[in-house]
Amino acid sequence: MKTIIQGRAFVFGDNLDTDQIYPGKYLELSDTRDIKKHALEGADPDFIKKFKPGDIIAGGSNFGCGSSREHATIALKGLGSGAVLAESFARIFYRNAINLGVLLLVCPGIRKSVSQGDIVKINIEISRVYNQITGEELEIQPLSDYVLDILRMGGIKPLVKRQLQEMESR
């Protein structure tokens, strides 16, 4: 996992729900390559045409609210987003995304400090976000060591697999 991430910001509002992140009409899809094509389509129908791997998604409060839809987190992972920054996340969405290895960061003030297309630099080691356009700096809530372990391994499944292998080799 990179500790310094830089990318173009795609900004969304408060209460961005899982239907907006991944519309229900595509739930029959199971291949990540197909799922990611519809990421954030409910909020911006042209999003996938503009987004590039490493870009950063920024949102307001309660990002990922609504139904517990794993396709929403799979779509974000498939995009290859550098990170998702938000004022706050819906709890189930947060855990699902972290468990899949999607970097979610709580960043109070992000909605007021970042505009569409701004270049954002994140330094996870010192818990800071920099808007490279305006010069504004914000603090992100530090991630726990356990969450960092999950993210470093690319998700909870690879982490548990490694832990089991370590136990077996003792």
Residue listed under structure tokens 């809530």: 141
CA distance 2 to 67: 30
Query: Helix, strand, or coil here: 30?
Result: coil
What does pTM read for this prediction? 0.94
Query: Residue 10 maps to which CATH number?
Result: 3.20.19.10
Structural domain of 69: 4-168
Query: Helix, strand, or coil here: 65?
Result: strand
CA trace torsion 143, 6, 76, 22 (10° rounding):
110
Domain count, the chain: 1
pLDDT tens digits in sequence order for the chain, 170 residues long = 889 999 999 999 999 999 999 999 999 999 999 999 999 999 999 999 999 999 999 999 999 999 988 999 999 999 999 999 999 999 999 999 999 999 999 999 999 999 999 999 999 999 999 999 999 999 999 999 999 999 999 999 999 999 999 999 88
> What single DSSP character describes residue 3?
S
